[in-house]
Amino acid sequence: MHPPLHSALTKMASPIGLLAVLMVMSSITLVTAQGAHARVLAQDPPQGTSADVGRVRFDVEANGVIDANGLVELYGTGVTTAWDQFSALFGSEPAHPFQMRFLVAPDPAATARMAWISEAAWAAPDGLSGVVAIQPFLALSPLEADNALRNMLSRSFMRQASGARLPPPLADGIARYVELPVLAQQARLGSLVQGLDQAGTRPAILDVLGTAPLPFDAETSIAVKYSLVAFITERYGVASLQALVQGFAGEPKWDIVLPTVLGQSVEELDAAWAEFLPRWFGSGWRENAVSAFDLTGAEELFERGAYEAASAEASRSQQLFSDLGDQPMLSRVEGLLAQSAVGLQADQTMTDVQASLEAHDYTRAATLLDEAERLYGRLPEAHRSDEAIASYRSISGRGQGAVTRLAIADQHAGSWLSVRQTRADALAAGREFAYLGDANRLGEANALVQDLDRRLQRLVLGLAAVSLLTAAWLVAWVWFRAPANLAWAPRRRTSRTGQSV
């Protein structure tokens, strides 16, 4: 022991004095440890390279394959994104930089004392560093590699938020939950827990969060812890997960923190977990509230015009950012939701236009097209259905024109002076209705044409009959008025005496 401290301890007999000295010793130890950690980060690994991404240090042992800058180029963006997300999720940032040590052959004895993440990565118990086996790590898919680093980095945030008091099993489950979803891996975790549940060997919360390790292999143990965190997050919300982690800063006992934050006793939580799992085994394993941090999927769906799917994805993000009180991201996701709603309404309006045209309601189709144009005008130009609108407007215009022309023809059908124009209008309208497949109005146009033809036929026949009668009358008249051989009596002369001679 340091001589001055030893002297102080021997001289101070009171408990208060002893406590004060112990606090001084703890402070010296903490400062020394922090200083040592800072010195480690300040130095490159032996025969290797180092690079920083914000407050994360990549220390890479010489390996002949990739250096620190190469790893930063591949995974730096993912680490930066994870840092921002974890800052919002846990409500604080680590007080110290985080060190990721990429080694050719990690010491098995050293990794055995760390938290297992995968066959390629381990996290130090102090939450300040992690170890990565270079070759196995590079063999992972880009998403799996990003997840290994996310898992590792999240522990530093949890340590800060919980005052380094978060139970390791809970930290393991949360670190796995904040990874980006890989459906094959999530299905595997779900099947492992389901197997335990069906065999009646699934541990209770008391056993999961207890000090004794679970009697399973590493993957099965992680699956159980992950399912517990999924239950807590999806049943009580992301805000409750944040409150749970932060709750340990003031109280180290999990059997006090859990009931306080979640509002149920441990026994009630156990029962609720058991009730939650059957649905989770069915399809709930696909869901991950924390994955809603990433709006990329929703934005890509929107860009493809899948507005309903984009809205569903964005709604999960809206719930997440609302729970965390992240106003900038909430504004962004609400803007996406609003645009998706406009897109849905525009698409529905175009569906209604098509239905109206199929029902040959041309006036309603024209009105709906005006509404569709107004809605598409509020969307980015690439989303506007200009060709479809032009095509539909042409059809509705031809239909409206034909309806108007048939109405005019019907109105003038009683006028003998406009029979020719009326018949032409009815024929033209009928041709349009035939093109549009409007059988009812085509029948009306044909009926009008046929009626006009019958009337004309009757007129012609009537005129012919009149002509025949007139001709017969004229013949008769001519016959009776024509000169005939008349026998006229000779004229008699009158004598002077007045007698005929």
Whole-prediction pTM: 0.69
Identify which of 314, 399, 396, 322 has the alpha carbon closest to the alpha carbon of residue 353: 396
Helix (H) or strand (E) holding 469: helix 439-481
Residue 321: what are its φ and ψ, rounded to 5°? -70, -30
Output the CA angle 339-344-350, nearest 5 degrees: 125
3-class state of residue 200 by DSSP: coil
Strand, coil or helix: 56: strand
Polymer length of the chain: 501
- Cα separation, 328 vs 333, in Å, equals 9
Each residue's pLDDT tens digit, 436-466: 888 888 877 777 777 766 666 666 676 777 7
pLDDT tens string 83-139: 999 999 999 999 999 999 999 999 999 999 999 999 999 999 988 999 999 999 999
Backbone angles phi, psi at 115, to 5 degrees: -80, 125
* pLDDT tens string 319-346: 888 888 888 888 999 999 999 999 999 9
Distance of CA 55 to the CA centre of its chain: 33
Rounded Cα distance, 329 and 322, in Å? 9
Output the pLDDT for position 364.
93
Q: Alpha-carbon Rg of the chain, whole angstroms?
A: 47
Q: Which helix (H) or strand (E) holds 218?
A: helix 218-236
Report the pLDDT value the prediction gives residue 432, as an integer from 0 to 100. Answer: 80
Name the stretches of the chain with pLDDT < 70.
1-46, 412-419, 452-460, 462, 481-501
pLDDT for 39 equals 34
Tokens of 232: 């807590």
Helix (H) or strand (E) holding 53, with range, is strand 48-53
Task: Please name which of 285, 347, 284 lies closest in space to residue 311, comparing C-alpha atoms.
Answer: 347
Burial state string for 100-136 with b = 16 or more CB within 10 A and e = fewer than 16? bbbbeebeeeebeebbbbbebbbbbeebbbbbbbbee
Q: CA separation (Å) from 60 to 80, 103, 132, 133, 435?
A: 18, 6, 9, 10, 73
Per the DSSP assignment, residues forming a β-bridge with 412 are none
Residue 417's pLDDT is: 62
pLDDT attached to residue 485: 56
d(CA 178, CA 480): 121
DSSP E strands, 302-357: none
Cβ-contact 278, 269 below 8 angstroms: no
Question: How confident is the model at residue 381, as a pLDDT?
Answer: 87
Token pair listed for 226: 């992950």
The beta strands (E) that lie in 193-273 are given as none
**Residue 28: predicted pLDDT:** 37
